[in-house]
Amino acid sequence: MGGQNIKYLITGWTIDPEALEIAKGKKRIRTQNRIVQVLVVLIEANGNVVTKEELYNKVWKGIVVTENSLNKAISELRKIFGDSRTEPKFIETIPKKGYRMLVEVKKVAISKDDIPVYVRKRKLILLFFMVSILVLLAIGQYKNLEINQQQVLSPDGEKIAYFKKGNGHSQLLVKNVVNGKVDTLVQLTKPESFALNWSPKNDKIVYNATLPQDPYYSINIMNLEDRNVLYIKFAKKEENHAFQSVPEDLDKELLFLDHRELVMGENKIHHIYLANNDTIKVLFKKALINDFNW
C-alpha cells in the first residue's frame, strides 16, 4: 500500500507532478522536471509572490544557473496555458521581485490504490519492461501485454469511473477521489468486454453493454446530470441489415446516426457522429470493443 499522488486542478487543467504531465481534456503535455517544479512552487505559494531567489533555491537547489533558465521555464508554462506576459491570466510577473499565480488552485491527494491501473502501468512500464521481456522469452511464454482500462480518471481529475464485476452481472460506479464517495450508476448484465470513457466536459460516460450472444454491439452513453441513457446499437456482421441489429423488444424511438468504419487488419475503429459535432471513436480489437475516444 503506498502513499498518495498529489495533483493540482487549475481551471480545467490537471497538473500531475509525479508524471511530469499537464493535461486538459484529451490534451496531455509531458514537460521537463524543473518546469513542473517551478509551477508547483508557484501553486504552493497560494497566490503570494514568489521571489526569483526562492525559485532558484527550491527548484535548482544550489546549482548555479543564469536567470535565463528561470525565464525559459516561465515562458514554457505560459506557452502551455496559452498565457500572456502583458495580459496574464495564470502567471503574473512582479517587476524586480518574482512571480505569482493568479488563478485558484485545488489540491487533490489521490491514494495510489485509487489510481487507475492503466495510469500506474504507464509510469512503471519503462522500469519493468526489459526484465519482463527477458523472463518471458526465457520461459517461452511471451504474450501481448494489455493495459487494463476498466478504471478511467475523469478529465478534471476529480472522479474515477470503473466496472465492478459480479456473478453474471456488473456495476458501473463512479468514485469521487476528493471525498471518497462511491456512486452506483447502473447494474447491467456482464458485457463481453469492459470499456468505458468520459466526455471531455465530465458530464457523460460512454460504456460497452454488448452481450456475447447478441448479433449487435450495444454502446450506452449516460448523462450524469439526469441519468438519461442514449442507446446505440449496430450489427456485429457487416452483411446484416441495419434493422436486423435492432432488438425485437425495443420500445424506444429510433435515431439513425452517421457511422463510419476504418479497418486495420484484425482491428478497426468506428466513428459515430452524435449531435453538436460530438464524435465517439469505438476502438475494436479482434471484434471486441476495447476502448472509446470522445
The per-residue pLDDT for 45 is 94
Above 70 in pLDDT, residue 120?
no
* Burial classification of residue 69, based on how many CB atoms lie within 10 Å of its CB (0-12 exposed, 13-18 middle, 19 or more buried): middle
The pTM of the whole model exceeds 0.85: no
For 171-224, what is each residue's pLDDT tens digit?
899 998 878 899 999 888 888 888 899 988 889 999 999 998 888 888 899 999
Above 60 in pLDDT, residue 288?
yes
The per-residue pLDDT for 20 is 87
Average pLDDT over residues 235-252: 55
The per-residue pLDDT for 253 is 53
d(CA 252, CA 216): 16
What separation in angstroms does the CA of 219 have from each of 26, 106, 184, 280? 21, 34, 18, 10
The per-residue pLDDT for 256 is 58
More confident position, 283 or 120: 283
Above 90 in pLDDT, residue 73?
yes
CATH of domain 4-107: 1.10.10.10
Above 90 in pLDDT, residue 41?
yes
Average pLDDT over residues 232-251: 59
Above 50 in pLDDT, residue 272?
yes
Above 70 in pLDDT, residue 75?
yes
Which residue ranges make up each domain of the chain?
4-107, 114-148, 149-293
SS3 category, 265: coil
The per-residue pLDDT for 117 is 40
The per-residue pLDDT for 110 is 62
Q: Which of 287, 285, 294, 290 is nearest to 216 (CA)?
A: 287
More confident position, 273 or 249: 273
Above 60 in pLDDT, residue 264?
yes
Which of 48-57, 240-249, 263-272, 285-294 ranks highest by mean pLDDT? 48-57
Q: Could you please report the per-residue DSSP string of 186-214? A: EEEEPPSS--EEE-TTSSEEEEE---TT-
d(CA 34, CA 87): 24
d(CA 43, CA 99): 11
d(CA 98, CA 52): 5
Which of 93-102, 134-143, 171-180, 191-200 bottoms out in mean pLDDT, i.e. has the lowest? 134-143
What separation in angstroms does the CA of 40 have from each of 3, 46, 107, 153, 245? 19, 10, 11, 21, 52
Task: Name the E strands within the chain.
Answer: 4-10, 13-16, 21-24, 27-30, 50-51, 91-94, 98-101, 106-111, 151-153, 159-165, 169-176, 182-189, 196-198, 204-208, 216-223, 229-235, 258-264, 267-273, 279-285, 288-293
Above 50 in pLDDT, residue 134?
no
For 15-34, what is each residue's pLDDT tens digit?
989 888 898 877 888 888 89
Mean pLDDT of the chain: 78
d(CA 290, CA 149): 8
Above 50 in pLDDT, residue 92?
yes
Above 70 in pLDDT, residue 126?
no
